[in-house]
Structure 1
Amino acid sequence: MRRNQYSVTKSFTSTAVGMAIDQGLLTLQDKVIDYFRKDIPENLPKLQLQRLKKLTIEDLLTMSAGYGEANLMDDRRSLKNKNWIQVALSTPLIFEAKKQFTYTNCTSYLAGVIVEKVTGCSLIDYLMPRLFEPLGIQRPGYELCPLGHVFGGSDLMLAANELSKFGQLYLQKGEYNGKQLISKEWVEQATKKQIDTANASLDNSFGYGYFFWRGSHNSYRASGMLGQTCIILEDKNAVIAVNSNEKNSQAIKDCIWENIYPNL
């Protein structure tokens, strides 16, 4: 049964960025604003524009763009402005880039749109022949913004066995069924700790990569808000995929570490 993966979607967006980098279509140090010159809202505050000009794709991937703790993109269905690109660009950057980890959908949405701009197709169309089809995954469901861009921060629809294939790809350093779908270098960069997280509780204290969480037991994971999770355990050569609808998602992680992990 397919379920909404919520923020697990971000790790698929990260994968698309990595594939575009492997193709030479963009780099981590590209300035975000260069992809949105025609989308910049008029009359932006001077400080906002200054900070946008310094923002890189890597800052998006590490959630260190400078956004505040809560912003409009995280309650996107109530937005009056249907141009979500303008919403993301005009949402105040409270901090300089790279200064603080702040979890938000703005970053993954912009990253996904950038992939669409450099590839000339939708995020899903880009991933179909490069990721989903080689993994044996039929076209997933997904959300579109009012502008027609795939929303790269949430709402990808997948089943648990499909999610496990994604984890297996990363466990095998980007190789699946004898084919290198994404470079080993990207897998290693995307899944290692790139920044400390603001929330130092539980698994989150282990840091964040490029839209991947670091976790205990030398693990990393793609993670959604209702317990959807794909945990890659390199030390155990194992993947644990869960497709749930549980508000207490920490209870699921506790169960994994207490009951499943010791028996691997």
Structure 2
Amino acid sequence: MLTQERFDFFCRSIAPFGVEHAIVRKDGRELMHRDFVPETRQNQFSISKSITGTAVGFALEEGLIHLDDRIVDLLADELPAAVSPRLERLTIRHLLTMTIGQKKPYLMGNQRRTMQEKDYIRFVLSRPFEEEPGTVFLYSNAGPYLAGVILERASGERLPQYLLPRLFEPLDISLPEWETDPLGNTFGAGGIELSSTEVSRFGELYLQDGVWNGRQILPKSWVRLVDRTVIPVPDGIRDYGMLFWRGRYDSLSAVGRFGQYCTILKEKNAVIVLNSNDPGENNLLEYVWTYLYPYL
């Protein structure tokens, strides 16, 4: 049983890593909550990827896009002069599984701060595709960014506006700020601003197979696809899926760069949310497995 004393010990253990908020949801309600600083909206970094993936889930259900749609058909105006056979075979599915076939990660934070190119779409598509799409995992911002752009074009709306009636309003989340590229496209790989409590509701939605307050908000078919997609990661410690990490105890996690975690534990009917400012990028889930998981 997770007691207040045990939760307090967990919080003391993770406090040195710049943790600002810790939330435990269990059986559909908030069980424990600790704010080290006042709770406000903050950059959730790559948790944004999982939210972009969620938008894709809605779009698939609505028939706006399909997983096997080819990128060369969807972004025909931004293709390089010479299109390689591997780029020809690149699909939306590859964007969501980090298997686009490039050997270098692109549009990462430090790179975006210094790059001169303003057209991120052309930039990504003009980089080499050295591997066959779908065969090799490489964590990169390129895939989820392109997925967000494609969804915006298919829906005719910016990503936050598209998600407002489908995801945000049902979860009582007001329209969030979200990073854009130099041309105004939403940066689906990062930069959404949400509070920790709002992130915990997002995790709860996945825990409940897309149901919120008794209503199917997120298509169950998408949640099932996320659950069953397993892409091996070279480190052998965890796997990847549809813009979620897969970890110990069959967990699903949306993870941000500096210690943002939204971890879904279906076996325990629980969600763990941590928001941190940890430049060391320590793996705080190890503390979850040791000090929280056994008592849930």
RMSD: 1.4
Q: How big is the shift at 1:51?
A: 1.2
Q: 2:13 corresponds to which residue?
A: none
After the TM superposition, which segments of 4 or more aligned residues of structure 1 sit over 2 Å from their partners? 69-74, 191-194, 247-251
Q: 1:228 corresponds to which residue?
A: 260
Q: 2:96 corresponds to which residue?
A: 61
Which segment is superposed worse, 178-187 or 58-67? 178-187
Asked if residue 41 in structure 1 is aligned to residue 75 in structure 2, the reply is no
Q: 2:45 corresponds to which residue?
A: 6
Whether the aligned pair in 2 keeps the contact of 1:22 and 1:182 (CA below 8 Å) is: no
1:242 corresponds to which of 274, 277, 283: 274
Q: 1:113 corresponds to which residue?
A: 149
Q: 2:22 corresponds to which residue?
A: none
Q: How big is the shift at 1:252?
A: 1.7
Q: How big is the shift at 1:207?
A: 1.1
Structure with the bigger RCO (C-alpha within 8 Å, sep 6+) is 2
1: CA distance, partners of 2:80 / 2:250: 43
Q: When the two structures are aligned, how many residues end up with a matched partner?
A: 256
TM score, norm. by length of structure 2: 0.83
Larger proportion of strand: 2
Larger proportion of helix: 1
Which segment is superposed worse, 67-76 or 240-249? 67-76
Q: 2:175 corresponds to which residue?
A: 139
Q: 1:71 corresponds to which residue?
A: 106
Asked if residue 89 in structure 1 is aligned to residue 121 in structure 2, the reply is no
Amino acid at match of 2:120: W
2: CA distance, partners of 1:251 / 1:144: 28
Whether the aligned pair in 1 keeps the contact of 2:230 and 2:246 (CA below 8 Å) is: no
Which structure has the bigger radius of gyration?
Answer: 2
Once the two structures are superposed, residues 72-120 of structure 1 have per-residue CA deviations (whole angstroms, 9 ceiling, x without a partner) of 5551222211011101111211211011000100001000001001100
Matches within 5 A, 1:120-199: 120-199=156-235
Of all paired residues, the percent bearing the same amino acid is 43
User: Unmatched 5+ residue regions in structure 2?
Assistant: 1-39
Asked if residue 102 in structure 1 is aligned to residue 138 in structure 2, the reply is yes
User: Unmatched 5+ residue regions in structure 1?
Assistant: none
TM score, norm. by length of structure 1: 0.93
